[in-house]
Amino acid sequence: MKIIALQEPITASIDKISSDKSISHRCAIFSLLSDQKSVIKNYLKAEDTLNTLKIIEKLGAIVEYDDDFIAITPPKEIIEPNCVLECGNSGTTMRILMGFLASIDGFFVLSGDKYLNSRPMKRVGAPLSEVGAKIYGRNDGNLAPLCIKGTKLDYFKFDSKIASAQVKTALILAGLNSNGCEISEPELSRDHSEKMLISMGADISINGLNIDVKPISKPLKPLNINVANDPSSAFYFALIAAIIPNSHIILKNVILNKTRTMAYDVLRQMGVYVKFIKKESSYDDIGDIEIKYSQLNGISVSQNTSWLIDEAPALAIAFACANGKSTLRNAAELRVKECDRIAVMVDGLKTCGIDAKEFDDGFEIVGGVPNAAIIEPSGDHRIAMSFAILGLKCGMIIENSECINTSFPSFSQILRDIGVKVED
């Protein structure tokens, strides 16, 4: 992918943003907890989320595909598949399924592509093993392929030392399918799972950072949901308005959950005009986000960083275009995503002539004038898209940019639609 630098500001209202990836994954997996057909409109049809659908089909679900929706009929009982369950590049798929399958009678094998199979899975596997799950894999269970010998677990309590929606969701599913559980976390991580499961009828109570999960006594209600646009995907276009002078962008029909919009709050704190316009509240708050250009100023971010893991690469681009020095700390989770996002972002920014350095748990970036460069995103869709946006200021070549298809296959087309010159 080659990005040509912009000569004019961008003014646009964008509604065809990628559907929310986190919600789409959960819709597919949570549908297995019902005994009735679920209907999901606007399901994200990207490589990662389609792999999740293929897996639930191998577990016995019937998936009907339509242009506007998918319908999922769950099996009466989960099938023990005679093949490997291929997760592709999706860590969310693998980690959430670890919790779900750990509490289902049967033998299951989870694997992925070369990038996913090099990512640490013990962060989910260790908590599950601690409460009785049987999970095995390479590197003492830390690397896929993973083998899971599922069985109903005893009631358990778990005090998580990290704020991770994937860890929390895996434990909730293990408790729901077994004899219940109590979970706590050090700070609130994304809470889509709790909200969706409660809306389906799960007996889950929340008291601050503590979650009490009662076992399922009867199948949950099916999902009937219209998946809104992904705020993490939309953020790349917010970034355009933040770094290209005189730009003005409105993002339509976006999830406004506070655990998903902190990156926009960071832009606001850096000086950009950001307005949330709530339109509805169903399984979550949904509405529009308006962003207008203003000169960015440096900032230090260290709180609620679990809410920023997906947007951190794009925020690094904002830091690179700001006046002064910016830092992100308490974000060691970035080291275990699709790639080591701290190392890859810092190296990429240095290639673009930006002063940047690593910390164990984040990075420091001094704003400057970027130069055109050739970027290798290490198989990480968010790295690729972030440097593509920086290319609007200076031009950029993104090698192996097909990784963007894992979450946002229409990214390049939307850029073209709003006036960006993109060469494949």
Q: Is 310 a catalytic site residue?
A: yes
DSSP run (H or E) holding 289: strand 285-292
What's the chain's Rg over C-alpha atoms? 21
* Rounded Cα gap, residues 391 and 31, in angstroms: 40
DSSP run (H or E) holding 423: strand 422-423
Residue (of 260, 255, 307) closest to 42 by Cα position:
255
**Strand pairing class (285-292; 248-255):** antiparallel
Alpha helices in 76-203 (DSSP H): 91-102, 122-130, 138-141, 165-176, 192-199
Residue (of 307, 285, 263, 264) closest to 195 by Cα position:
285
User: Which residues make Cβ contacts (< 8 Å) with residue 371, sequence separation at least 6?
Assistant: 352, 353, 394
| Contact status, residue 44 vs residue 111, Cβ threshold 8 Å | no
Tokens at 257, concatenated: 């959950």
* Rounded Cα gap, residues 46 and 37, in angstroms: 22
Tokens at 222, concatenated: 């099916």
- Known binding-site residues for phosphoenolpyruvate equal 21, 91, 119, 166, 341, 382
Query: Which residues in 178-272 belong to E strands, given as ranges?
Result: 181-184, 204-207, 210-213, 224-226, 248-255
Residue type, 120: P
Catalytic residue of the set 310, 347, 355, 361? 310
Residue type, 110: L
Residue type, 139: N
- What Å distances lie between residue 70 and 21, 38, 63, 76, 296, CA to CA? 15, 8, 7, 19, 42
- Known binding-site residues equal 21-22, 26, 91, 119, 164, 166, 310, 337, 341, 382
- Known binding-site residues for 3-phosphoshikimate equal 21-22, 26, 164, 166, 310, 337
Tokens at 301, concatenated: 């971010």
Which residues belong to the active site? Answer: 310
